[in-house]
Structure 1
Amino acid sequence: MAIPAETFFLRPDTETSLQQQIQQLVVEAILSGRCLPGERMPSSRKLAEHLGVARITVTIAYTELVSNEYLISKGRSGYYVAQNAPSRPKFNLPDQSENTGIDWSRTLGQRFLAHVPVMRPQNWRDYKYPFIYGQSDPRLFDHHNWRNCALKAVGRKDFDILATDYYERDDPMLVEFILRQILPRRGITARPEEILITMGAQHALWITAQILLTQRRTAVIENPCYPGLRQILNQTRCNTISIDVDNAGLPPEKLPDSLDVVFTTPSHHCPTNATMPVSRRHRLLELAAEGEFVVVEDDYEFEISFLKSPSPALKSLDPTGCVIYVGSFSKSLFPGLRLGYIVASEPFIREARALRSLVLRHPPGLIQRTAAYFLSLGHYDAQIARMGRIYRKRRSIMEQSISEERLSLTTQGTFGGSSFWMKAPDGIDSTKLAMSLRQDGVLIEPGSAFFATDEEDPGHYRLAYSSIASARIPDGISLIGKKIREARR
């Protein structure tokens, strides 16, 4: 007797293909014991009719399940659950329904949840006007060539490289490309021993803070700043000093007399987009040499420079080796890639490599090699050029719409970027404004999470244009202006 086709149902909220969904349904039914070895599967025609899909889709899914030994094909008889199909182990576990468990409030040695997250719902794509930062626009990414590079990376030629445990090493192809192509754009020269691949910029900042800071040391950060950095420093229990930025970024003359590390984003300050002038960069380096402190340069969004060419990186102007440079591909490719790098003097990189190996050894070899092919074959440069053209158009539309709605724009980036830092009129809380705008399908990011204290400045908010189509920008900005006018009344 065949298993009824009505046993299987497709989920409307999944992003996988129909073929993959059918495979997942059958695999789960077999592993859970609902479909037993020797039982006949629904015919491809009946299952296709029940699920409302093409018959060839079911046939391809069944064929893949045969190759994975979940099903067998018996000619004209159809498909059956294989006798040797994979199965889950069964355990006789005790009843834990009355287990009161551990008092975790007393057991936890450290807490990591005490921070203000940037307000961003998981279903942000469902909103019509998503002015949110750091998310990719799938229409701008070169999916075809990324897929080809991934296929090339898993080919027979590279398999030994992917399958080998690098221990503390990195993919030499990716390192070579960064050294020859990426760093020279920032005026930086380095050797392979002076670079470490990381799981994004935040991982790089965590490694840097862990090595440089202790409870007895002092770190200076910008205010406002990237919220993740502040939380990283809080966990080191170092003395953290926040210095307010101005229209030119971090002012060196406001640095304290005694400090150990300065964290700064000179290319595009996070979140205001202010750009640090070259004269101010030289002054910061002079103070670092005199005071013998380290500067950690997060070269935030340096690739997204479409208004004019960016200034040289702090690292390129550094004569003493006091700058630790942090770069990332998350904004130029896609945020889920989680691939970044640190460039610093060899003694620091040795320690950073040792610390990384204790946590994750190295970023996945497949990701490193795929990115190396994508970058080295010229797809990365084409991607940057395409993003620059689209972002320039979106930025122009945003500027015009902001002006028409008479919204207050604070600091603008000199070279581009992907967002605007805004200020609501006095008396308007941007967090409440953001929650109210969601009812109209508009997403903005309140600014409170970026400041040293939650109550320091509730009126700022960020509008990004990386995730919203140009055609929707004017209507979205119009809704923001309308909501602000209503709040003022």
Structure 2
Amino acid sequence: MSIPPEAFVLPPATRGSLQQRIRQMVTEGVLAGRFRAGQKMPSSRGLAQHLGISRITVTLAYAELVSSDYLTARGRSGYYVSDSAPRAPEVPLRAPRVESAEFQRLIAGRFQGLAQIDRPADWEAYPHNFIYGQADPSLFDHQNWRLCAVRALGRKDFAALTQDYYDRDDPLLIEHVLRTILPRRGIAAGEDEVLLTLGAQNGLWITAQVLLGQGRRGAIENPGYSGLRGILSASGTETVNVDIDADGLPPDAIPKGVDVVFTTASHQCPTNATMPLERRLALLDAAGREGFVIVEDDYEFEMSFLKPVSPALKSLDTEGRVVYVGSFSKSVFPGMRLGYLVGPPSFIKAARALRLMMLRHPPGHIQRTMAYFLSLGHYDSLINRMRNAYRRRRQVMEEAILTHGLSVAGQGGFGGSSFWMKAPESVDTEVLAERLRAEGVLLEPGRAFFDPARPVRNHYRLAYSSSTPVRIPEGVAKIASGIARGLG
């Protein structure tokens, strides 16, 4: 029995080349059981005419499907679904099952109820997108990243790509982290002091699991990173919120009896305040005196373009009290999910054992691709391009904010990728954000950054990492207009 050309409908154009889309139609049909072994495919001419494309495109797609054993060619007879093509498992369909109440009892709201920042999935469709942490594709070095990825797929690197590292990391990437990344922050470390993670968020989770839990106390900045508050809450740690000031976390405000202090010293999240050197030394002195350790989340140090970066807390640590959390997600692209922890060997050993139980190690191909991207100088070129672009965007946004009389609550003096803003006390920025969406504007309400026991609703964050200079002024004008019209 032949498969008629009418059985094929091209997937949307956003899903690859014509050849790829033809291959997708065939493979999906085979795996779904619609096309069965021995069935004859439409002729290349007939399918091309039906789809309105070139015959050579269909012929090349068929050839690829033959090489991957989905199809077989039978002389002049044509193409047939291969007898050895992959098949979907024969699993009988069952009616949907009712969820047992036991799930609700066991979950018991452990991971719900925390304030979250609402970021729509289609943020790219908004003309005035001020959502933090999103990448601008026009700045990324697609060509060289692709070349590094292809190189990592080569036969020479096959072992690095495919083997199970168990509890180890790619030695080539570790070498470049130790030799090129950490020295920029003044940090000297050995191989037994570094662990790769799936981004900074994963690094913070591992750190909290190793150091904290029931019966222990963790101090965090207020306002501060909302994701960290969720991590500590889920671990059962008693969370102590410490109010920051214009210079970040004040050491003398940290209460006695805490076990771990978390800080974003170089770019305070979300205010962008940079902790002065004197305060960094005072914080380290307090850690030694009071007996706590420090977790330094240095998530955005590469984006210091207004002034030279301050030395990392980890570089000033002489007593082994600091765990340093770094990430490539902000400087390369957020979807990569690759970061690292730097700490005393005993901590890294425990963190490595925990990672082994959870995910073993980050994907080998991503590790080796990143290693080549670093070693060939592409990373430094990318950082330089991003800094120049962010400097320009920051200037445009600062001018627009001044023009429209908006209030900056914290902008930092070293760069970054956002402004921390303050609306009048009467404005609820969650309501404002929801209503401005209809006008094509996305901003981040600030409530999620504050201690839930003392919610503050009139702050918001404006990021410029993925917003072009041409559109920034109009977007800021709409925000000012929305506040003036009482949309919040």
> What's the TM-score, normalizing by structure 1?
0.96
TM-superposed deviation, 1:36: 2.0
What is the letter of the counterpart of residue 12 of structure 2? P
TM-superposed deviation, 1:44: 3.1
Counterpart in the other structure of 2:197: 198
Distance of 1:74 and 1:80 partners within structure 2: 7
Counterpart in the other structure of 1:70: 70
Query: What count of residue pairs does the alignment treat as equivalent?
Result: 487
Distance of 2:384 and 2:466 partners within structure 1: 17
Distance of 1:195 and 1:188 partners within structure 2: 11
Q: What SS does the aligned partner of 1:262 have? A: strand
- 8 Å contact 2:11–2:25 — kept in the other structure? no
Distance of 1:58 and 1:211 partners within structure 2: 55
Overall identity of the aligned pairs, in %: 57
TM-superposed deviation, 1:135: 1.1
What is the letter of the counterpart of residue 175 of structure 1? I
Q: What SS does the aligned partner of 1:410 have? A: strand
TM-superposed deviation, 1:455: 6.3
Counterpart in the other structure of 2:119: 120
Gap runs ≥5 in structure 2: none
Counterpart in the other structure of 1:362: 361
TM-superposed deviation, 1:308: 1.5
Distance of 2:397 and 2:421 partners within structure 1: 12
Counterpart in the other structure of 1:276: 275
- 8 Å contact 2:161–2:365 — kept in the other structure? yes
Is the deviation greater in 178-187 or in 400-409? 400-409
Counterpart in the other structure of 2:7: 7
TM-superposed deviation, 1:52: 4.3
Counterpart in the other structure of 1:26: 26
- 8 Å contact 1:448–1:455 — kept in the other structure? no
Counterpart in the other structure of 1:349: 348
Distance of 1:484 and 1:374 partners within structure 2: 44
Q: 1:109 to 1:119 in 2, by over 3 A?
A: closer
Aligned counterpart for 2:100 among listed residues 102, 123, 129: 102
What is the letter of the counterpart of residue 30 of structure 1? V
What is the letter of the counterpart of residue 80 of structure 1? Y
Distance of 2:35 and 2:176 partners within structure 1: 50
Counterpart in the other structure of 1:318: 317
Indicate whether 1:154 and 2:153 are aligned.
Answer: yes
TM-superposed deviation, 1:161: 2.1
User: Deviation string for 1:128-182 (max 9, x for gaps)?
Assistant: 1111111111111111111111111111111022222111011110111000100
Q: 1:265 to 1:66 in 2, by over 3 A?
A: same
Distance of 2:442 and 2:24 partners within structure 1: 34
- 8 Å contact 1:268–1:301 — kept in the other structure? yes
TM-superposed deviation, 1:318: 0.8
Q: 1:76 to 1:477 in 2, by over 3 A?
A: farther
What is the letter of the counterpart of residue 72 of structure 1? T
Distance of 2:70 and 2:91 partners within structure 1: 22
What is the letter of the counterpart of residue 102 of structure 1? S
What is the letter of the counterpart of residue 9 of structure 1? V
Distance of 1:386 and 1:50 partners within structure 2: 46
Q: 1:475 to 1:101 in 2, by over 3 A?
A: closer
TM-superposed deviation, 1:75: 4.6
Q: 1:428 to 1:51 in 2, by over 3 A?
A: farther
TM-superposed deviation, 1:13: 7.7
> What's the TM-score, normalizing by structure 2?
0.96
Indicate whether 1:218 and 2:217 are aligned.
Answer: yes
TM-superposed deviation, 1:454: 7.5
- 8 Å contact 2:248–2:273 — kept in the other structure? yes
Counterpart in the other structure of 1:247: 246
Is the deviation greater in 154-163 or in 84-93? 84-93
Q: What SS does the aligned partner of 2:303 have? A: coil
Counterpart in the other structure of 1:299: 298
Q: 1:130 to 1:48 in 2, by over 3 A?
A: farther
Indicate whether 1:433 and 2:432 are aligned.
Answer: yes
Distance of 1:44 and 1:447 partners within structure 2: 58
